[in-house]
Amino acid sequence: MRKTLLLLAIVSLVVTPLFAAPKSARAHNDAERLASLLHDVQASTSVNMSDTMWRTIANEANTLANRIYANTRGTTHGAARDARAHVREMRAAALKGDAAGARSHAGMAMPFVNTVINATAK
């Protein structure tokens, strides 16, 4: 009984990574989510967002940008690096209460995020 459980545990540890999404698919999904957030930040000129909302959006965008950077390689990696740099600047501006600066950096990050989306699309 113990040998069977041990064998089952070993097999499940070996087989589980085979069913995980490839890194490019994860990068693609995260890039689409990030693009959506960046678009919302740019479109928020008519909506007055609270400091808490700015902080939440900026932190989520930063997390997504870091994951995209970690899950890309090759030519896409440079675009992910540049997107991450602008998202970090956007986050810094948002945390300081500089909505215009956050919107500006969100706009600067979008072309790089779109490059990642296009390069990782299947």
Which tokens is 98 given? 């500089």
Residue reference for tokens 């070996």: 14
| Alpha-helical runs (H) found in 20-98 | 23-42, 51-70, 75-96
Share of the chain above pLDDT 70, in %: 79
Residue 18: per-residue pLDDT? 45
Tens digits of per-residue pLDDT, 22-67? 677 888 999 999 999 999 888 877 667 788 888 899 999 999 999 9
Which tokens is 36 given? 């959506």
pTM here is 0.79
> What ranges do the domains of the chain cover?
22-120
Amino acid (one-letter) located at 67: R
The CATH architecture assigned to 22-120 reads: Up-down Bundle (1.20)
